[in-house]
């Protein structure tokens, strides 16, 4: 629907006149008053990208998250669909490098793709990748730069972009996606909800399609249960009339921000699962899927000193945090405290757990930076949440051999 595939009736791009397409000319695309109706060829099949999936982790394209995802076993990757927040990768000169890193970490699988709105470019005029990122944020011509980008990534399930879009723009965004044979995602960020969310939901309801998912994103919250009233209100309000088969993801993160009070080993429980369970009990939606941030938080630009050496170990419902300022623990001492704790499983067979064990044994190539600690924690967390409720000790995690 973009570029050369459009035929304009004597007008330039940006004119208020509407573009003609072969569907207009064939009569299969009809106009009803102010709105478009493409019911004759609307994709009405249920969106398949979350069928059989139990987990949608939201991950920024940062070294810790990508390393963690890369070493998640295949059996766990098969149970999840990550929602990737696009931003430039390290010092690369093109955004395509960021996608290449995602593909290396999560090869041969679909992922949901959205723009990382917490990313703040530091040199948008001097960095081609940062300039490209800023172009993707432009709502001009129904986010045409965004359309061009995700179209070049076959694995991507694009998120609708709502900022500055009219109801007609939203309809045409959806049509553009469907004409590419893609499914899509409506991601609603509760902390900065677009003013036209209700219009987007109305368009989806009007079209009657089910080839998409909805992610209700709570961002960082101290107590996930506090999000229940708002999410429940959306499910029983604006979202109520959407096709009941459309999968809904309830996502947030409660990873603590301040570790200074921890001396020794502390247990930090998280109630993300309780939030989703409560939503399921009080909703008639067919599919409500658990989501989180893989034990990370949205990007923050706080600066500050390098944190004390710390080792984190996730279980299904808590994080074990080991650090000791008084006894001047390094990473080996913190890792040893984790391994000796009653919550240490020791038989997961995943990269993150092996890294903690090696650190406790004094391996100089194990965890020696805060970034490696985060990578190990995220790796274990992703594995546990993807296989939540299963006995994950002693699983056969060998990847199939490919010649």
Beta strand spans in 254-379 (E): 264-269, 288-292, 311-314, 318-323
Q: At what angle do helices 370-386 and 351-360 cross, to 10 degrees?
A: 140
Element (H, E) at 356: helix 351-360
Q: Dihedral of CA 210/166/196/199: which sign? A: negative
Task: Classify strands 35-37 and 30-32 as parallel, antiparallel or unpaired.
Answer: antiparallel
CA angle 137/138/141 to nearest 5° reads 135
Q: CA-CA distances (angstroms) from residue 220 to 224, 234, 251, 299, 382?
A: 9, 19, 10, 10, 18
Q: Are 383 and 341 in contact (CB under 8 A)?
A: no
Helix (H) or strand (E) holding 291: strand 288-292
369: helix, strand or coil: coil
398's CB contacts (< 8 A; 6+ apart) are: none
Note the pTM of the prediction, 2 decimals. 0.88
pLDDT value at residue 191? 94
Q: Is the CATH code 3.20.20 the one for domain 55-259+269-292?
A: yes
Residue 123 has pLDDT above 80, yes or no: yes
Q: Is 203 helix (H, G, I), strand (E, B) or coil?
A: helix
Distances 104 to 67, 74, 97, 249 between C-alpha atoms, Å: 10, 13, 10, 25
Specify the residue for token string 């694995």: 155
47 pLDDT band (50/70/90 cuts)?
A: low
Cα torsion angle, 50, 53, 56, 60, sign: negative
For the chain, what are the domain ranges? 3-41, 55-259+269-292, 311-386
pLDDT of residue 378: 99
3-state secondary structure of 43: coil
**Residue 384: pLDDT over 80:** yes
Distance (Å, rounded) from C-alpha 111 to C-alpha 258? 31
Tokens at residue 63, please? 């070294």
pLDDT at 79 over 70: yes
Which of 47, 7, 45 has the alpha carbon at shortest distance from 29?
Answer: 7
* More confident of the two residues 207 and 67: 67
Q: Which residues 6+ apart lie within 8 Å of 193 measured at CB? A: none
DSSP per-residue string spanning 86-120: E---TT-SSTHHHHHHHHHHSTTS-EEEEE-TT--
Question: Is 328 a residue whose pLDDT tops 50?
Answer: yes
Q: Is the pLDDT of residue 43 over 60?
A: no
The DSSP H or E segment spanning 228 is helix 228-235
Determine contact, residues 122/130, Cβ cutoff 8 Å: yes
Q: Do the beta carbons of residue 254 and residue 272 sit within 8 Å?
A: yes
Q: What is the pLDDT of residues 204-258, one digit of tens each?
A: 999 888 899 999 999 999 999 999 999 999 999 999 989 988 999 999 999 999 9
pLDDT tens for each residue of 249-306: 999 999 999 999 999 999 999 999 999 999 999 998 989 999 999 999 999 987 767 8
| 131-140, 156-165, 294-303, 373-382: range with lowest mean pLDDT | 294-303
Q: How far apart are CA 230 and CA 77, in angstroms?
A: 30
Q: How far apart (Å, rounded) are the C-alpha atoms in residues 78 and 306? A: 36
């Amino acid at each position: 629907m973009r570029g050369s595939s459009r035929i304009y009736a004597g007008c330039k791009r940006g004119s208020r006149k509407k573009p003609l397409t072969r569907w207009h000319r064939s009569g299969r695309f009809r106009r009803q008053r102010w709105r478009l109706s493409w019911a004759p060829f609307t994709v009405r099949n249920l969106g398949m990208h979350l069928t059989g999936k139990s987990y949608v982790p939201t991950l920024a394209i940062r070294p810790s998250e990508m390393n963690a995802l890369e070493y998640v076993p295949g059996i766990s990757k098969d149970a999840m669909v990550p929602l990737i927040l696009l931003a430039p990768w390290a010092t690369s000169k093109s955004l395509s490098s960021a996608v290449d890193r995602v593909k290396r970490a999560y090869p041969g699988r679909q992922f949901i793709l959205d723009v990382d709105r917490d990313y703040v470019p530091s040199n948008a005029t001097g960095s081609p990748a940062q300039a490209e990122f800023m172009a993707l944020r432009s709502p001009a011509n129904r986010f045409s730069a965004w359309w061009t980008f995700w179209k070049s990534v076959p694995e991507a399930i694009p998120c609708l972009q709502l900022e500055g879009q009219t109801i007609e723009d939203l309809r045409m965004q959806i049509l553009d996606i469907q004409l590419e044979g893609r499914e899509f995602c409506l991601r609603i960020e509760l902390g900065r909800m677009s003013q036209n969310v209700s219009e987007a939901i109305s368009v989806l309801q009007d079209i009657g399609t089910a080839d998409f998912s909805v992610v209700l994103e709570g961002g960082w919250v101290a107590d996930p249960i506090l999000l229940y009233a708002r999410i429940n209100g959306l499910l029983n309000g604006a979202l109520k009339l959407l096709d009941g088969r459309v999968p809904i993801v309830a996502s947030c993160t409660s990873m603590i921000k301040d570790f200074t009070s921890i001396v020794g080993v502390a247990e930090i429980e998280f109630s993300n699962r309780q939030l989703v369970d409560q939503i399921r009990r009080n909703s008639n939606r067919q599919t409500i899927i658990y989501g989180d941030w893989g034990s990370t938080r949205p990007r923050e630009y706080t600066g500050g000193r390098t944190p004390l050496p710390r080792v984190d170990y996730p279980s299904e419902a808590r994080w074990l945090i080991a650090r000791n300022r008084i006894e001047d623990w390094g990473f080996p001492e913190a890792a040893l405290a984790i391994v000796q704790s009653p919550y240490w499983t020791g038989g997961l067979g995943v990269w993150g757990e092996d890294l903690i064990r090696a650190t406790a044994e004094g391996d100089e190539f194990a965890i020696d930076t805060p970034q490696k600690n985060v990578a190990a924690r995220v790796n274990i967390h992703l594995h546990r949440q993807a296989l939540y409720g299963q006995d994950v000790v002693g699983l056969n995690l060998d990847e199939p051999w490919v010649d």
